[in-house]
Amino acid sequence: MERRHFLSLLAASSASCALPAFANAGPLPSGPVRVVVGFPAGGGTDVLARIVANKLSAMWGVSVLVDNKVGAAGRIAATEVAKAAPDGNTLLMGHINTQGIAPGLYPKLPFDAEKDFTAIALVGQTPQVLVTNDTQAAKTVAAVVEKCKKSPGRVSFGSSGAGSAQHLALALFEKTAGISALHVPYKGAAPVMNDLIGGQVEFAFEGMTTTAPFIKSGKLRAIAQTGPKRAKSFPNVPTVAESGYPGFNASIWFGLVGPAKMQAAMVSRINSDVNKVLAMPDVIARLDEFGAEDGGGSPERFAAFMRAERSKWAQLVKEKGITPEA
């Protein structure tokens, strides 16, 4: 079910039975609530966390603050939340890196992504974008594939780091298209964008939140996006799936999780309120700016989604022999 359709049904349902819903509402965290984010302020994960936190704070009358615990591609933040008390006062804005990719990439994580967290709500999925600069002649997925086949292992793709979501998007592209490329890992997205614009690397898969300003300013050219359908913010950019590779999906996703063993009634209440936040018109408009779609639904939906993502990326990591240092 598409996010807009789901959320419109949710809004209608909430309007028609608001009093019973509030009468049967589950318990709230005592507060103050920390939403821990494993990435710097201003990035996509941080922005989405602040949107949700601000709305929940207003709804609950409880202080809900974003706490940036940066480092190790989000694993420091995830470890802290995994060890926190399950009282709802410490939550994590989960990310594909920590809840989806890391379990298959690191054999000795300090947390178990399946057992040490409680799924609460999927906030959204945002596509990555295959981008290049104006010096490259390749303007379509087919042209990029042809270029890679003519020069196997030599066409350079920058990424935000070995084992990152961006690196895994490239690995999936290589596997799906039957090509090999030269992976050039960087320490974060900013240096990738700088070198891509400067021509030191030829292509990159990078999140839509990062690439959008460069695409709109004309500094980078969007070739394709990696979601299952075109994001509303970039309706003229085709997907990799529709460019000859059906089923291709390498979206970056975000969702609220808490420590294991949270009270079921509290999880249900927080989930319900996050869904209400996602149905607010101003929130929908902000999410659309980042291409963040298909959020919402039950905790069970989010748990099953993360389970499927872990399986998918673990298999790719194994097949491609990817390591954090590769």
Tokens 């939403």 — which residue?
Answer: 35
Picking from 212, 233, 238, the residue whose alpha carbon sits closest to that of residue 292 is 233
Q: Are 122 and 301 in contact (CB under 8 A)?
A: yes
Q: Are 184 and 167 in contact (CB under 8 A)?
A: no
Q: What is the pLDDT, as a whole number, of residue 23?
A: 39
Q: Do domains 3-126+252-320 and 128-243 have the same CATH topology?
A: yes
Measured CA to CA, the distance from residue 9 to residue 122 in angstroms comes to: 17
Other beta carbons within 10 Å of 63: 11
Q: What is the pLDDT, as a whole number, of residue 42?
A: 82
Do strands 252-259 and 90-95 pair parallel, antiparallel, or not at all (unpaired)?
A: antiparallel
Measured CA to CA, the distance from residue 187 to residue 73 in angstroms comes to: 10
Cis peptide before 259 (omega within 30 of 0): no
Q: What is the pLDDT, as a whole number, of residue 75?
A: 93
Q: Class assignment of domain 128-243?
A: alpha beta
Q: What is the pLDDT, as a whole number, of residue 71?
A: 86
Q: What is the pTM of this model?
A: 0.86
Q: How many residues does the chain have?
A: 326
Measured CA to CA, the distance from residue 114 to residue 94 in angstroms comes to: 13
Picking from 158, 185, 168, 153, the residue whose alpha carbon sits closest to that of residue 101 is 168
Helices 281-289 & 44-60 angle (0-180, nearest 10): 170
Measured CA to CA, the distance from residue 188 to residue 194 in angstroms comes to: 11
Indicate the residue type of 276.
Answer: K
Q: Are 31 and 89 in contact (CB under 8 A)?
A: yes
Q: Are 209 and 42 in contact (CB under 8 A)?
A: no
Domain ranges of the chain: 3-126+252-320, 128-243
Segments of the chain assigned E as strands = 33-37, 64-68, 90-95, 117-126, 128-132, 156-159, 182-185, 203-207, 221-225, 252-259
Residue 168 is encoded by which pair of tokens? Answer: 């895994």
Residue 7 is encoded by which pair of tokens? Answer: 């959320």
Helices 299-320 & 264-278 angle (0-180, nearest 10): 90
Residues (pLDDT < 70) of the chain are 1-24, 325-326
Indicate the residue type of 46.
Answer: D
Do strands 252-259 and 203-207 pair parallel, antiparallel, or not at all (unpaired)?
A: unpaired
Other beta carbons within 10 Å of 155: 21
Measured CA to CA, the distance from residue 287 to residue 51 in angstroms comes to: 9
Q: Calculate the alpha carbon distances from 190 to 43, 97, 194, 285 in Å.
A: 11, 18, 6, 25
Q: Are 199 and 172 in contact (CB under 8 A)?
A: no
Q: What is the pLDDT, as a whole number, of residue 175?
A: 97
pLDDT digits (tens, 9 = 90+) for 223-254: 999 999 999 889 999 999 999 999 999 999 99
Picking from 114, 144, 151, 119, the residue whose alpha carbon sits closest to that of residue 130 is 144
Q: What is the pLDDT, as a whole number, of residue 21?
A: 39
The superfamily in CATH containing domain 3-126+252-320 is Bordetella uptake gene, domain 1 (3.40.190.150)
Q: Are 92 and 266 in contact (CB under 8 A)?
A: no
pLDDT digits (tens, 9 = 90+) for 19-56: 333 434 789 999 899 999 998 888 889 999 999 999 99
